[in-house]
Chain A
Amino acid sequence: MALPLTSDLAAILNVDEFATAVTYDGGTINGIFDNETVPVEAGGLVEVHQEQPRLTCRTIDVPSLAQGNTMVINSVTYVVRAWVHDGTGVTEISLEKSA
């Protein structure tokens, strides 16, 4: 029996459940927004703690994803920098907070 992944995703990526509405490419998509604080190491004696904004969404909602695309999440503008398609219909996007 096939896993009900499509319906599960629809439930998970509902703004009444875990998702947030994202303004993207002239429309709105839903995704789970994480903004965890992480330690950044770039050679200094001390780390820099920064937020690490990421969006998890349906791959089908971002068919033309490109570096430099913008997304507005919770009134903050982010720039798409990298992404990973997991092969099951889910994409995780690494974002850069716009200056």
Chain B
Amino acid sequence: MAHVRKQIRDRIASVLASGVTSVSSRVYTSRVYPMTSADLPAITVYIGSEQSSLITIGTSKKLSRRLAINIDIYARSTSGLDDSIDAIAVEVEEAIAGDFTVNGLAKEAILSATNIEYSGEAEQPVGIARLSYDVLYHTTVADPSTAN
């Protein structure tokens, strides 16, 4: 069975694909290849980092894991680009809040930071908003594929 981390990433991508209608299901996990204007607006979901610590000892050692997931919103527009970005962010935040425990895989999924940048160096302005989420979940040391 897949690592809980992958299950969380896939679940979040699925929730965004169905819940963020303004990107028309253009939600990609761990995409590394460039996008074009025709691909926008779009969302990418990928794992940033993970910190873990032991929270129980004994025969069933349990890990508390804090996973950083980045949700990048890509949009382009010749006017109102910041409005477009924020409108998509509303949909993303509402979708994640509606699945606060990530379908029972996690204890919580909390928005920890939002960073927005713009570029006007090509044919139409592009804006990218990064929504950083902290996702807390537990597994045993011996079984990282099952959420506890």
Residues of A within 8 A of B (CB): 35, 38-53, 79, 81, 95-99
Contacts and interface: CB of A to CB of B under 8 A. Distances in A.
A51 B36 CA distance: 9
Contacts of B126: 40, 42, 48, 50
Interface stretch (B53-61, B98-106, B116-124): B116-124
B117 to A, nearest CB: 4
B35 A46 contact: yes
Interface of B: 31-37, 39-40, 44, 46, 70, 72, 74, 76-79, 115-128, 130
Contacts of B31: 45-46
A95 B35 CA distance: 21
Across the A-B interface, the 5 shortest Cβ-Cβ residue pairs: A50-B122, A43-B117, A42-B119, A97-B123, A44-B128
Given A49-B35, A50-B37, A99-B78, A42 B123 contact: no
Given A38-B122, A49-B35, A50-B124, 10 more contacts: A39-B34, A43-B116, A43-B117, A44-B72, A45-B31, A48-B35, A48-B126, A53-B123, A96-B123, A97-B78
A99 B124 contact: yes
Contact of B44 (A39, A45, A51, A79): A45
B46 A42 contact: no
13 contacts: A40-B126, A41-B119, A43-B117, A44-B128, A48-B126, A49-B36, A50-B36, A51-B123, A52-B123, A81-B120, A96-B124, A97-B123, A97-B124
Contacts of B120: 81, 96
B35 A43 contact: no
A96 B35 contact: no
- Among B79, B120, B122, the one with the most A-chain Cβ atoms within 10 Å of its Cβ is B122
A91 to B, nearest CB: 18
A98 B35 contact: no
Nearest to B35: A48
Nearest to A99: B78
B128 A43 contact: yes
Contact of A43 (B40, B121, B130): B130
B122 A45 contact: no
Contacts of B72: 43-45
Contacts of B46: 45
